Amino acid sequence: MNILVIGASGAQGGAVARRLVGSGHSVIGLTRTGAGLPDDVKPVIGDLADASAVRAAFDGVTHASVMLPMVYSAPVVDLYVRNIATAAAEAGVRRLVLNTGTRIPSEPTTVAAFETRRTAAATLAASGVPTVVLRPPVYLDNLCAPWVAGPLVHEGELRYPLPVHARVAWLCHDDLATATVAALTQPLTTPSALSLDIGGPDVVTGPMLAAAFATVLGRPVRFVAQDVDEFEKALTHALGASTAKGVAGTYRWVAENDGDVYGLNPAELEAALDIRLTRLHDWIAARPWHDLAL
């Protein structure tokens, strides 16, 4: 297989690219600058807005993993996705896997981060290229951010902008990579376009998540439903105002509409992709929390 990973310089796409390389596949990473790619990933320089560059990136590609940039302008995302769909179809790609980066509510919303990905999934599914759409919930790796790990370690407070009662199948990047590689490489006895909610094996509320941390860290930890405006402010410093606003919009919607949108039946996911997922306690125990809190 000759696999193109769009988004390989980011945390999610990078995890996928590293897993593919480790499995012996030839991996190409489409990047604007050539920087930030995992080891042994061949860079192809180009912008998703440039149709000719995207076609060049797909030259000789048999499979593709797509993680779109954290851009939520509908015209911009539509252009990116049309270029990907056209190039993949022209290249005769055998399978394409789209990671939406978020769950997508069943009914349309006014949240750009949801709706641009809903449209992207529909466009790629209609491209004629066999497509698998993976819809993750919230990433455990988000908890490694200093504004989360700091209060967790120093104050015993796990602060995150989700309702206390929301049941979440928190997913780690390693399991995202596992699911993506399976969706790319395994024979799937399914229709040519398949959509799957993915997530981790432990579906927990905020207090249940805090209790898991308390068990591993050996100290009391309580969950605090962080104010979304406060979260957006912290995220702005890391990702910029536009991206932070787009991401925060999803948490506002969840708080106001559906606290269970991030749930999952993990057994069904493991059976569908023939994978095994990382247990929550094991993931927590493997992280250097005191170092992350500095």
Integer Cα distance of 149 and 260 in angstroms: 24
Name the pTM for this structure: 0.95
Integer Cα distance of 183 and 173 in angstroms: 15
Residue-wise pLDDT tens digits, 211-246: 999 999 999 999 999 999 999 998 998 899 999 999
For the beta carbon of residue 30, count every other beta carbon within 10 angstroms: 27
- Residue with the bigger pLDDT between 156 and 272: it is 156
E strand or H helix at 224, and its extent?
A: strand 222-225
Quick one: average pLDDT of 184-194? 76
pLDDT at 190: 60
pLDDT at 238: 86
pLDDT at 191: 60
Dihedrals φ, ψ of 6, to 5°? -90, 120
* pLDDT of 188 strictly over 80: no
What percent of the chain is predicted at pLDDT more than 70?
98
Distances (CA, A) of 68 to 3, 6, 32, 99, 154: 16, 7, 13, 8, 35
Quick one: average pLDDT of 180-202? 86
Instruction: Name, in order, each residue with C-beta under 8 angstroms of 67's C-beta and a sequence gap of 6 or more.
Output: 5, 6, 7, 10, 12, 13, 16, 99, 101
Task: With cut-offs at 50, 70 and 90, classify the pLDDT of residue 187.
Answer: confident
Integer Cα distance of 75 and 126 in angstroms: 18
Residue-wise pLDDT tens digits, 108-147: 999 999 999 999 999 999 999 999 999 999 999 999 999 9
pLDDT at 172: 98
Residue-wise pLDDT tens digits, 64-94: 999 999 999 999 999 999 999 999 999 999 9
Residue-wise pLDDT tens digits, 16-58: 999 999 999 999 999 888 888 999 999 999 999 999 999 999 9
| DSSP conformation letters of 113-150 | HHHHHHHHHHHHHTSSS-EEEEE---BGGGGGSHHHHH
Integer Cα distance of 8 and 115 in angstroms: 23
